[in-house]
Structure 1
Amino acid sequence: MKPIFLLLLSVLSFTIQASEIQKPQRIISLAPHTTELAYAAGLGEKLIAASDYSDYPPQALALERVANYRGIKLERILALKPDLILAWKGGNPPREMAKLEQLGIQIFYSHPTSLAAIADSLEALGQFAEEPSVARQAADDFRHTLTQLEQANRHKSAVRYFYQLGSSPLMSMSGNSWPSQVFSICGGENIFADSPVAYPQVSKEQVIVRQPEAMFAAFGSAGPDPQVFSLWQSWREQIPAMKRQQLYQVEVDWLNRPTPRALLAAKTICKQLDEVRQRETE
């Protein structure tokens, strides 16, 4: 029995060692949201390069840039010899990604399409970490906060809103597009939810006819833009949101990136929609 036991112990030890060896040590992220997810999942020390606009957390700013809106730097990526690449499904060029896969580089594709999927992505990334418990804890914390928000806003009255995405051309989003669901958790009712296009180009007349009670836009590092809703001044009396000055701006990275910070956007929006509801009762 003793030789068999020692043999089994040896096999088990080899299996554990092999599992540890298979953990990636050189990771490249090709999208800002995958960079943010990687840090949240405990993979930050393994990141060696990232895409442009990978600016959170602050230590991501020190990473070499190997991708931008024009594409990826294929030759540089290969020179860095990554053993794992984090990619944005639908956001990174498929032809170049296929080349990387053909060369045997492991690719983890991320495309969370719901708030709940953010937690799932964290757990999935945890498999590559030396301490998967970090990712599991981050996922658990996210789900707990998400559940609290859902319960707190479940029975609140709907508030019709317009999300202004650009002004020339004037665009918005459909009900199935990110970040529409961030608004939905707070009881927001998208006036263009029925659009067959993910990010439709809309007219001022369409917005006026649909009578939004609140208007939203996103702001970047320069801070809120006091002129972002100025194009509606001529219709101040025709649009409830303008008439009551229920005009709001949310930090763009919180709102547009499917990462744990999406809950910060949700908390902000929920508070803003509560303000609209309160004014309706006055």
Structure 2
Amino acid sequence: MYSRALALFILLATFFVPSTFAENLSPHIAQRVITLSPHATELAYSAGLGPKLVGVSQASDYPLAAQKIEQVANYQGIKLERILALQPDLVIAWKKNASSRELEQLEKFGIPIYYSSIDSLDDISKNLRQLSLWASDPSIGQKNADIFDATLEQLRARYQTQSKVRYFYQLSQKPMMSVTTPNWPTDIFHLCGGENILTDNTVAYPQVGVEQVIALKPDVIFTPQAATTTDTIWKNWPHIPAVKNNFVWSLNPDWSSRPTMRSLKAIKQVCDYFDQARSTYAK
């Protein structure tokens, strides 16, 4: 519940600040930056905004310096009063995980909000270039974006002609959920020559039954690293090609789930696994 003072500020902001402020966002050199998701924190550092961070979201654990910054948001929402007290001149939010009502209140106070929207690998460098315009030294973000793009181009050239590997990506156990193209992180698998077994599913992050996975017979099964019970889940279904060949692998969730510079590490990890599968199925 808002304090009386905050409620009064919100009321005044509603009347005196244009609600379209965020739509007319114009970069300036930011001095006090707040990020509202772990991937936004990583992007801020890569864009040269790290020294300006005064608030981050829970689980913003990379780079290590981010762990020392005050946490002003978590999966339940944002600490609106605390964010206002920190007086940010830039807030970086994840478009798909944004608390729209609370962010609208920040916009009414005239606080610029950059909405990071990333569906593909190419969007990462795009975000870096845009965010670098808020940094005192834009060359940091521009250089990192160039490095990312050059490495991505090399990886695409290497894997674009590789044979397809049918995969199932397990996001969680209970309920068992997955992800469909073009939603993140499917572009990582696509670059490496992966073919999602859920191609006919139109839901972005669908709930999936074991029977469905059995019927679709993936060559490879991927799970987040935190899913320590993976072997227990699938060991009873040895006729699934992925299980029969011991191609049930855990991915580093920070690399695969967060669209950042470290997505390049996720690509290498996934591509290496696909190469192992190809060498077996080609025999």
Given the two structures, how large is their TM-score scaled by the length of structure 1?
A: 0.89
Q: How many residues align?
A: 257
Report the secondary structure of 2:114's partner residue.
strand
Matches within 5 A, 1:34-45: 34-45=40-51
Structure 1: gaps (5+ residues): 1-20
Give, in angstroms, the shift of residue 90 of structure 1. Answer: 2.6
Contact 2:92-2:114 within 8 A present in 1 as well: yes
Q: How does 1:4-83 map to 2 (within 5 A)?
A: 22-83=28-89
Matched, 1:142 2:143: no
What is the RMSD computed on CA atoms of the aligned residues?
A: 1.3
Per-residue CA deviation, residues 185-232 of structure 1 (Å, 9 max, x unaligned), is 000111013211111111111111111011101114xxx73x313222
The answer to whether the aligner puts 1:266 opposite 2:267 as a matched pair is: yes
In 1, Cα distance between the equivalents of 2:200 and 2:141?
36
The one-letter code of the counterpart of 1:171 is M
**C-alpha contact 1:215 1:241 (8 A) present in aligned 2:** yes
Percent of aligned positions with the same letter in both sequences?
A: 46
Q: Which residue of 2 aligns with 1:12?
A: none
- Partner of residue 209, structure 2: 203
Give the counterpart of 1:233 among 225, 235, 238: 235
State the alpha-carbon separation in 2 of the partners of residues 241 and 214 from structure 1: 5
By how many angstroms is 1:22 displaced? 4.3
For residues 214-268 of structure 1, what are the alpha-carbon distances to aligned partners after superposition, in whole Å with 9 as ceiling and x for unaligned? Answer: 1101114xxx73x3132222211x2011111111111001000111111100111
Q: Is the 8 A contact 1:176 1:193 kept in 2?
A: no
Task: Summarize the alignment of residues 84-123 of structure 1 with structure 2, pairs less than 5 Å apart.
Answer: 84-123=90-129
More moved, 75-84 vs 170-179: 170-179
Runs of 4+ in 1 over 6 A off after TM superposition: none
What secondary structure, in the 3-state scheme, does the structure 2 residue paired with 1:90 have? Answer: helix
Q: Which residue does 1:169 correspond to in 2?
A: 175
Q: Quote how far apart the aligned CAs of 1:23 are.
A: 1.4
User: Larger Rg: 1 or 2?
Assistant: 1
Are the equivalent residues in 2 in contact too, given 1:30–1:51 (CA < 8 A)? yes
Q: Secondary structure at the match of 2:173?
A: coil
Unaligned ranges ≥5, structure 2: 1-26
If the length of structure 2 is used for normalisation, what is the TM-score?
Answer: 0.88
